[in-house]
Amino acid sequence: MTRPDDIDDLKAALSAATPRPDPERRAANLRHARENFAAHAQARTKESHSRQGTEGATRHRSAGPDRGLLTGVMTMLSRMTTRGGLVATTAIFAGCLLVLTPQGREVLTPGPFLRGEAEPPSPQPAPDAEETRDPAPSTDRPVTGSTAGQPTDDAVTAPDPLNATRMAESEEESDLDGGMMDNMLAAPAPAVRPEIAGRSAEAAAAESDFGGLARDNAPTAEGEALPLAPDTEAFANAAPSDLKITAEAPVSTFSIDVDTASWSIVRSSLMRGELPPPAAVRIEEMINYFPYAYPAPGDGAPFRAELGVIETPWNAGTRLVRIGLQGELPELDARPPLNLVFLIDTSGSMDAADKLPLLRQSFRLMLSELRPEDEVAIVAYAGSAGRVLDPTPAGDRQAILDALDRLSAGGSTNGQGGLQQAYAVAEGMADEGEVSRILLATDGDFNVGLSDPSALTDYVGEKRRTGTYLSVLGFGRGNLDDATMQALAQNGNGTAAYIDTLNEAQKVLVDQLSGALFPIADDVKIQVEFNPATVAEYRLIGYETRALRREDFNNDAVDAGELGAGHSVTALYEITPVGSDARLTDPLRYAPAEAKGTDASDEYGFLRLRYKVPGEDESRLIETPIPSELSADENASFAAAIAGFGELLRGSDYLGDWSYAAAIELAGANQGADTFGYRSEAVRLMRLAQSLSQ
């Protein structure tokens, strides 16, 4: 039974419970404030005389931080503001969101069943629709044409007017935060958080100029005991790519992405009985989680592009173009020796069954896949970084296992100190012809010490040039900082995976060991030029955080994703053929006449791929036309089911009345060989999401 006046009850109870301020404290606080005001005014006067602002510090009483720390924090904040301001509308917005995103997120809520049953008493919109729509950046603030269309490399978009308002606001807030620090023990977190958002947005801006999105998630549903640990998760995402009109923007450019973290996060959320936060849903990572068994390249190229066109499951008037890349799987016996540095987060927050213990088991699994000539070193970071295991041949299994067992969680995290040490160790291990990779295992909590995340990602970007790869493995939920993880992996020429179960460890670290650890093509970029004679509109599904500018395609200095041995990458475009009823935009009356089939074209477009052979600086080009005939394509159909599932979770506008039921049916009908049961797991998760969404 429900009563519509719950809120009123609460309000009454709250007013009754709100105490009067203590008169003595009140007087003291007011006096204190007035004194501060006077001191501040004085300091300002002095400042205006001599441009040295340090006198301002005298206004701060209380056992505040020393000036050095304060300055650091202020610098960070001001950096955040200016950089953030430059990035993009959504980035700013994400920044604001993050600033305002409190820690304790995962406080109890009633069980899913309860959530489902009760209809809101007031004429609020239907829960599903609203729930998925909520994460503000995706829907509340439409991406401006410029952001979607012309991503910038690592920074500068001219701020638009809207942006300017935001900037002013965020400046104000940062200033406030900075001021706040004066009188408080300066915790790093408040300063860091916005920075993370700004940075991850910026990192994403390496590929696109919209970026990191704080989590403003759907309520969690855990039918368990009362307040749970605070949850400080942050996810990187961007608004879905919008529809493009071929006549206006025929070229679409993006970087490949072989990360799979998003699928695992979605799974872990669903398994806990809650819908994933929409910001955690990155469709390309969901699609790329699954093996597709595309034909292997034969002609000595490191990978091969495979194309397919199917009818769009959710829209009879459009087509899905599937681009599949299959990396070659080099003869494993001939693989170069591998130097692995396990960089392991042993901060206090790692002390949970699904974190450090799972990590130990996972690495143990992987050890059995290594060769005697491979070398392993372990660096732990917590408070002060430490080398736990000197470079040890993988043949000395016992020494490595012992070192893993010695790890225990405690202390706070110093991501940068750990990273610096890990890179130093990796560089010490590197030899001609060997592959060095750091495997960073963390729950994503980089919140103490030199942890300005923009400096962190800059550092990683710098180190990328030394040839050491960096992969990030996320463990556990609660303060998973997906945004930072993504930023690090993207900047460090690596992949990000999220490990929630030992099965997942098996998949990432054992079955795909070679792919995860041996790059076969660096900086792989995809560019599709659509044919305006056959395609009226198109939309790239997923890869929002991976968009590139058109000119970046030919610019070898622009970083893009790496393809590992045996990896496959799938990208889907939803296209509207010319003449289809499903066209959402009207042709322009005064536009130059479209070439209406004059060249009898049977091509939807032209695909160009660029990649670098690892170690080389100059990219190579692969080109192939996209034929327009439909193909029966089990892989594309399954990928479409996953894409649709992702869009449902994100709350897309493009699906019409296509539902979870349809996704389940489509995925179920296209299981393929499914040797390891990944696809059937997908169907189970879809069913779970279906129940949770009701």
In three state form, how does the secondary structure of 255-296 look?
A: ECCCCCHHHHHHHHHHHCCCCCCHHHCCHHHHHHCCCCCCCC
Binding flag, residue 67, another protein (CB under 8 A): no
Binding flag, residue 6, another protein (CB under 8 A): yes
Return the number of the residue (100 or 588) whose C-beta is nearest another protein: 100
Instruction: State which of positions 654-693 bind another protein (CB under 8 A).
Output: none
Could you tell me if 408 and 382 are in contact, meaning their C-beta atoms sit under 8 angstroms apart? Answer: no
Q: How far is the CB of 687 from another protein (least distance, A)?
A: 23
Return the number of the residue (11 or 67) whose C-beta is nearest another protein: 11
Residues 6 or more apart in contact with residue 470 via CB below 8 angstroms: 437, 438, 440, 460, 463, 464, 488, 489, 492, 493, 494
Rounded Cα distance, 294 and 566, in Å: 10
Binding flag, residue 110, another protein (CB under 8 A): yes
Q: How far is the CB of 17 from another protein (least distance, A)?
A: 6
Rounded Cα distance, 683 and 472, in Å: 27
Instruction: State which of positions 269-328 bind another protein (CB under 8 A).
Output: none
Binding flag, residue 138, another protein (CB under 8 A): no
Could you tell me if 201 and 212 are in contact, meaning their C-beta atoms sit under 8 angstroms apart? Answer: yes
**What's the Rg (C-alpha) of the chain?**
26
Q: Of the candidates 47, 65, 128, 141, which one interacts with another protein according to CB under 8 A? A: 141
Return the number of the residue (114 or 621) whose C-beta is nearest another protein: 114
**Nearest in space to 507 (alpha carbons), one of 366, 642, 367:** 366
Instruction: State which of positions 377-416 bind another protein (CB under 8 A).
Output: 412
Instruction: State which of positions 544-583 bind another protein (CB under 8 A).
Output: none
Q: How far is the CB of 15 from another protein (least distance, A)?
A: 8
Could you tell me if 480 and 534 are in contact, meaning their C-beta atoms sit under 8 angstroms apart? Answer: no
Alpha-helix residue ranges (DSSP H) falling in 50-160: 67-87, 89-99, 112-117, 127-133, 136-139, 145-149
Return the number of the residue (112 or 644) whose C-beta is nearest another protein: 112
Question: Beta-carbon neighbour count of residue 580 at 10 Å?
Answer: 17
User: Could you tell me which stretch among 229-237, 275-283, 383-391, 649-657 binds another protein (CB under 8 A)?
Assistant: 229-237
User: Could you tell me which stretch among 224-232, 245-253, 396-404, 659-667 binds another protein (CB under 8 A)?
Assistant: 224-232
Binding flag, residue 466, another protein (CB under 8 A): no
Within 13 Å, how many C-alpha atoms sit on residue 229's CB side?
A: 11
Could you tell me if 83 and 198 are in contact, meaning their C-beta atoms sit under 8 angstroms apart? Answer: yes
User: Could you tell me which stretch among 30-38, 428-436, 491-499, 539-547 binds another protein (CB under 8 A)?
Assistant: 30-38
Q: How far is the CB of 143 from another protein (least distance, A)?
A: 14
Q: For 370, left (φ over 0), alpha (ψ -120 to 50), or beta? A: beta
Q: How far is CA 354 from CA 268, 281, 403, 404, 505, in A?
A: 11, 21, 19, 16, 12
Could you tell me if 284 and 526 are in contact, meaning their C-beta atoms sit under 8 angstroms apart? Answer: no
User: Could you tell me which stretch among 91-99, 299-307, 421-429, 659-667 binds another protein (CB under 8 A)?
Assistant: 91-99
Binding flag, residue 447, another protein (CB under 8 A): yes
Rounded Cα distance, 39 and 55, in Å: 9
Binding flag, residue 62, another protein (CB under 8 A): yes
Instruction: State which of positions 161-190 bind another protein (CB under 8 A).
Output: 168-169, 171-173, 175-177, 179-185, 187-190
Binding flag, residue 32, another protein (CB under 8 A): yes
Return the number of the residue (133 or 684) whose C-beta is nearest another protein: 133
Q: Of the candidates 90, 147, 193, 313, which one interacts with another protein according to CB under 8 A? A: 193
Q: How far is the CB of 653 from another protein (least distance, A)?
A: 15
Q: How far is the CB of 218 from another protein (least distance, A)?
A: 8
Q: Of the candidates 131, 195, 285, 522, which one interacts with another protein according to CB under 8 A? A: 131
Rounded Cα distance, 665 and 429, in Å: 50
Binding flag, residue 651, another protein (CB under 8 A): no
Q: How far is the CB of 112 from another protein (least distance, A)?
A: 10
How do 469-475 and 496-499 pair as beta strands? Answer: parallel
Binding flag, residue 450, another protein (CB under 8 A): no
Question: Beta-carbon neighbour count of residue 266 at 10 Å?
Answer: 26
Return the number of the residue (192 or 548) whose C-beta is nearest another protein: 192
Binding flag, residue 329, another protein (CB under 8 A): no
Q: Of the candidates 46, 55, 128, 133, which one interacts with another protein according to CB under 8 A? A: 133
What's phi and psi for 349, nearest 5 deg? -70, -10
Binding flag, residue 601, another protein (CB under 8 A): no
Inter-axis angle of helices 67-87 and 89-99, to 10 degrees? 140
Binding flag, residue 230, another protein (CB under 8 A): yes
Strands (E), 431-548: 435-442, 469-475, 496-499, 519-530, 535-541
Strands (E), 464-567: 469-475, 496-499, 519-530, 535-541, 561-564
How do 338-345 and 384-393 pair as beta strands? Answer: unpaired
- How many residues contact another protein, by CB under 8 A? 99
Return the number of the residue (230 or 372) whose C-beta is nearest another protein: 230
Rounded Cα distance, 184 and 582, in Å: 58
Binding flag, residue 46, another protein (CB under 8 A): no
Binding flag, residue 372, another protein (CB under 8 A): no
Q: Of the candidates 53, 104, 372, 410, which one interacts with another protein according to CB under 8 A? A: 104
Binding flag, residue 108, another protein (CB under 8 A): yes
Residue 570's DSSP bridge partners are: 324
Q: Of the candidates 46, 65, 79, 109, which one interacts with another protein according to CB under 8 A? A: 109
Q: How far is the CB of 420 from another protein (least distance, A)?
A: 22
Binding flag, residue 243, another protein (CB under 8 A): no
Q: How far is the CB of 273 from another protein (least distance, A)?
A: 14
Q: Of the candidates 103, 384, 503, 555, which one interacts with another protein according to CB under 8 A? A: 103
Q: Of the candidates 53, 75, 82, 140, which one interacts with another protein according to CB under 8 A? A: 140
Binding flag, residue 59, another protein (CB under 8 A): yes
User: Could you tell me which stretch among 98-106, 145-153, 241-249, 635-643 binds another protein (CB under 8 A)?
Assistant: 98-106
Q: Of the candidates 53, 120, 410, 587, which one interacts with another protein according to CB under 8 A? A: 120
Binding flag, residue 102, another protein (CB under 8 A): yes
Binding flag, residue 232, another protein (CB under 8 A): yes
Q: How far is the CB of 594 from another protein (least distance, A)?
A: 38
Rounded Cα distance, 39 and 380, in Å: 46
Binding flag, residue 481, another protein (CB under 8 A): no
Q: Of the candidates 366, 448, 572, 663, which one interacts with another protein according to CB under 8 A? A: 448
Could you tell me if 55 and 46 are in contact, meaning their C-beta atoms sit under 8 angstroms apart? Answer: yes
Could you tell me if 437 and 494 are in contact, meaning their C-beta atoms sit under 8 angstroms apart? Answer: yes
Could you tell me if 552 and 153 are in contact, meaning their C-beta atoms sit under 8 angstroms apart? Answer: yes
C-alpha angle 404-410-416 in degrees, rounded to nearest 5: 80
Q: How far is the CB of 417 from another protein (least distance, A)?
A: 17
Instruction: State which of positions 484-523 bind another protein (CB under 8 A).
Output: none
Could you tell me if 440 and 421 are in contact, meaning their C-beta atoms sit under 8 angstroms apart? Answer: no
Q: Of the candidates 81, 138, 152, 220, which one interacts with another protein according to CB under 8 A? A: 220
